[in-house]
Structure 1
Amino acid sequence: MLELPSLHRRRILQLLAASGSISALPAVALAQRTEQVVLYTTLNSQSVETANDVARQALPHIKPSAVVGGSSQLLKRIEAEAAQPRGDVFWTSSANVMHGYRTLFEAYRSPEAAAIPAALHGPDDLWMAANLHIVVAMVNARHLPGAAPATWADLTDRRFKGKVIIGDPGNSSTAFTALWGIERVLGADGLKALAQNIVVSSSASHVVRSVGQGEYAVGITFESTAYPYVAGGQKEIGIMYPQDGTFTVADNMALVKNAPNKDAARRMYDLLLSRGMQLALLQNAYRRPSRNDIDVSKHLDMPPLADIKIVPVDETEAASDRDAFLTRWRAHVAAARSS
Structure 2
Amino acid sequence: MPDLAAPLIATADELLLDDALRWCAAVGAVPDVAPDLTGTRRSWRRASAVIVGEDLAGDLARAALPRREHVLLLAREPSQWWPDAVALGAVAVCGPDEEDRILEALAAALDGRGEACLVSMVGGSGGVGASTLAVVLGLAAQRRGLRSLLFDADPLGGGLELLMGAERAEGLRWHDFDATHGRLSAGSLADVLPVHHGVSTLSWDRSSTTLLPAAVPSVLTAAVRGFDLVVADVPRHLDESGADIVGRSVLTVLVVAEDVCGVGAARHVLDRLQQMASSIVVVTVSRAGGIGPAAVSDALGLPVLARHRVDRRVRAAVDRGMGPGRSRAARRTATALLDTLGLEKA
Q: TM-score, normalised by structure 1?
A: 0.27
Q: TM-score, normalised by structure 2?
A: 0.27
Name which structure has the greater RCO, CA cutoff 8 Å, separation 6+: 1
Bigger share in helix: 1
The structure that has the greater radius of gyration is 2
